[in-house]
Amino acid sequence: MLPKVSVFAMGGTIAASGRAERGVKPSLGADAMVDAVPQLAEVAAVEARTFRLLPSPEVTIPDLFELADAIERAVAGGAAGAVVTHGTDTLEESAFVLDRILSLDAPVVLTGAMRNPTLAGPDGPANLLNAVRLAAHGPARGMGAMVVMNDLIHAARFVQKGETSNPAAFRSGPMGPLGWFAEGAVRLAGPPGPRHTVQVARDAAPAPVALLTVTLGDDGRLIERALEAGYRGIVIELTGGGHAAHWVADRLVEAARRVPVVMASRTGAGEMLRRTYDFKGSEIDLLARGLIGAGWLDGLKARLLLTLLLTAGADDAAIREAFANWLDPAPE
Ligand code: ASP
């Protein structure tokens, strides 16, 4: 008896069709994608469902809440794991959200394609086959949400898209991938670390959180505008390990009196410093004046974590604890 795997199609390039010279768009349903990969029949009993047919930027957090419900129902109904096919542009964000809100042991595997089916060497079919292999793989239980692209397995907490069109676009920061595929076998090198889930009501409207970046010579006026526009939190991507000009720092500190302001690095990688530089606008100054460090989460992931925490009704102390705990996990 083959394990049952539920495939949920969200859209993206993996679902694209059209003519190469006129551009493609997501239009293939889940059944069409699954039927195009006959090898799937040797790996799992696949149940395919077209959940959305969207380009990545149109996927919303409520879509992901609904998807999380559907994945839980599929697992409760006997699926060994779930696969989500998705546009690659926001794949890392959807993976991060699902990893935070699902507490399932069953593997949840997101995948997509960098080369659409009108191009030579489309990668969607191979990625889908590998994703189903991983979803059906017993030892992958308990590892949370993962991303499969280009024969590699990434943990949702680390994965980032770092290229626009190269099939090797996905990377996993300092740790590297969780595993790989070879000759059809799944190889897992290790578990990704503690889970850090957020209990959030799936019918709640997501709290708006702005993501801003500091740039050379900018005066930081968007910080106030973000508050005027009704954002309930701000993630600011600072230079290097957490630095801003002193005049931007003052604006950030002012904002932090009203809403949580989380600082990440605009480099997109590496850990925010906590005790290295001490000038006005340095990490020591900003942390002492009320900002919250994102640890090693990049701006995109820090924004999603803050969104989920605010949506769950977390107060200032709980938000600070959640970000601190993310960096230095409290013993379980
Ligand atoms: N380039 C995208 C993709 O790979 C388009 C999208 O993300 O929807 O799927």
| Closest-CA residue to 209 (of 88, 330, 292) | 292
Indicate whether residue 88 lines ligand 1 (CB < 6 A).
yes
Tell me the per-residue pLDDT of 180-221, one tens digit each, with 9 for 90 and over: 999 999 999 988 888 899 999 999 999 999 999 999 999 999
CATH topology of domain 4-188: Rossmann fold (3.40.50)
Cβ neighbours of residue 264 closer than 8 Å, sequence gap 6 or more: 235, 236, 237, 238, 272, 294, 297, 298, 299, 302
Residue 20 pLDDT more than 80? no
Share of the chain above pLDDT 70, in %: 99
Quote the ligand 1 centre to 37 CA distance (angstroms). 20
**Where do you find CATH 3.40.50.40 in the chain?**
209-324
Dihedrals phi, psi of 153, to nearest 5 degrees: -115, 125
**Where do you find CATH 3.40.50.1170 in the chain?**
4-188
Q: In CATH terms, is domain 209-324 a member of 3.40.50.40? A: yes
Indicate whether residue 24 lines ligand 1 (CB < 6 A).
no
Q: Which residues are catalytic?
A: 13
Supply the residue whose CA is at minimum distance from atom 4 of ligand 1: 88
pTM of the model: 0.97
What is the rounded distance in angstroms from the CA atom of residue 14 to the CA atom of residue 113? 5
Quote the ligand 1 centre to 151 CA distance (angstroms). 18
Point out the ligand 1 atom lying closest to the alpha carbon of residue 56: 8
Tell me the per-residue pLDDT of 249-300, one tens digit each, with 9 for 90 and over: 999 999 999 999 999 999 999 999 999 999 999 999 999 999 999 999 999 9
What is the rounded distance in angstroms from the CA atom of residue 22 to the CA atom of residue 191? 43
Point out the ligand 1 atom lying closest to the alpha carbon of residue 164: 1
Confidence band of 94 (pLDDT split at 50, 70, 90):
very high
Question: Are residues 199 and 312 in contact, defined by beta-carbon separation less than 8 angstroms?
Answer: yes
Tell me the per-residue pLDDT of 21-69, one tens digit each, with 9 for 90 and over: 889 999 999 999 999 999 999 999 999 999 999 999 999 999 999 999 9
What is the rounded distance in angstroms from the CA atom of residue 87 to the CA atom of residue 75? 23
Q: What is the pLDDT of residue 22?
A: 87
Burial class of residue 157 in the structure, from the number of CB atoms within 10 Å of its CB (0-12 exposed, 13-18 middle, 19+ buried): buried
Point out the ligand 1 atom lying closest to the alpha carbon of residue 89: 7
Q: What is the DSSP string of 275-322?
A: SS--STTSHHHHHHTT-EE-TT--HHHHHHHHHHHHHTT--HHHHHHH
Supply the residue whose CA is at minimum distance from atom 9 of ligand 1: 87
Query: Angle at the Cα of 174 (from 289 to 98), degrees rounded to 5?
Result: 80
Strand partners, 262: 235, 292
Indicate whether residue 117 lines ligand 1 (CB < 6 A).
no
